[in-house]
Amino acid sequence: MGERVNSKADQVYDELKEAILAGRLEPGESIDKSALCERLGVSRFPVSAAVSRLAFESLVVIEPQHGSFVARISAADVRERMFVRRALESEVAAEAARRMPREGLEALQDNLAREREAVEAGDRVSFYAYDVGFHQSLTTHLGLRRSAEILDALRAHLERVRRLLMLPPGRIRGTLAEHSAIYAAIAAGDVEGARAAMDRHLTETTGQFDSFARERPELIST
């Protein structure tokens, strides 16, 4: 019985989290627990458990007597995490230009080919997965386990924002071009060029977020 309840709570959690990260539930939007119970065919307990878990992850805000709401995006947190990510990943790119092994270069090439296919198909979901994979390939093939742990944690906190920033027309094509420039510098062994290309890529992402925050201030908290 306990396993079935946990399974249902996990199901609700997975569905709610994906809806929040993908932007189908917008920041500030109310979470209708009764509608979730009806749609998923579950009791109120697994829904409440899933909402509490998401509140612990700062994706949901629970307001007693008022309800549960998708958490607004903290601009200060996003900018600081992007700052740390840019500083670390720029150095990872520079290190890749110094000593990326052949299999790492081949993995990046394969990733870029898949990104290109996703761009041509207009497949943002697949492109997002390849985008994450491109960055993870750098630390994986350099054996930078501690750096990977830090960057994975940063990406997890930034996932909702990064997915939203993929939505504007032309953005995934721009990301592909930026990744291609990073790869070209790494493959050429251009340490300063690789560092600068990664810095430009992540600075562009920060700029995209600033534009998004100005356009949709109702989704943002300070």
Residues 185 and 82 in one domain: yes
Write the CATH number for 173.
1.20.120.530
Tell me the CATH number at 6.
1.10.10.10
Looking at the structure, tell me whether residues 182 and 166 fall in a common domain.
Answer: yes
* 44 shares a domain with 111: no
What is residue 8's predicted lDDT score, i.e. its pLDDT? 82
| One domain, residues 21 and 114 | no
Alpha carbon of residue 222 to chain centroid: 20
Q: How confident is the model at residue 1 (pLDDT cuts 50, 70, 90)?
A: very low
Helix 44-56 / helix 2-21 crossing angle, nearest 10 deg: 50
Q: Does residue 84 sit in the same domain as residue 22? A: no
Average pLDDT over residues 161-174: 89
Distance CA 29, CA 26 (A): 5
Report whether 205 contacts 165 (CB < 8 A).
Answer: yes
Residues 65 and 85 placed together within one structural domain of the fold: no
Range of the domain at 133: 74-221
Distance (Å, rounded) from C-alpha 5 to C-alpha 155? Answer: 30
pLDDT tens per residue, range 38-82? 888 888 888 999 999 999 988 999 998 889 999 999 999 999 999
What whole-number distance in Å separates Cα of residue 129 and Cα of residue 20?
17
Based on the fold, state whether residues 64 and 126 are members of the same structural domain.
no
Mean pLDDT of 124-141: 96
Do 88 and 47 have their domain in common?
Answer: no
Q: Are residues 63 and 102 in the same domain?
A: no
In 143-221, alpha helices (H): 145-165, 171-187, 191-215
What pLDDT does residue 75 have?
95
Q: Would you state the structure tokens that stand for residue 19, as one six-digit string?
A: 């809806």
pLDDT at 10 over 50: yes
Same domain, 109 and 208: yes
How many domains would you assign to the chain? 2
At 24 the pLDDT is 87
Residue whose C-alpha is closest to residue 117's, from 201, 186, 178, 173: 173
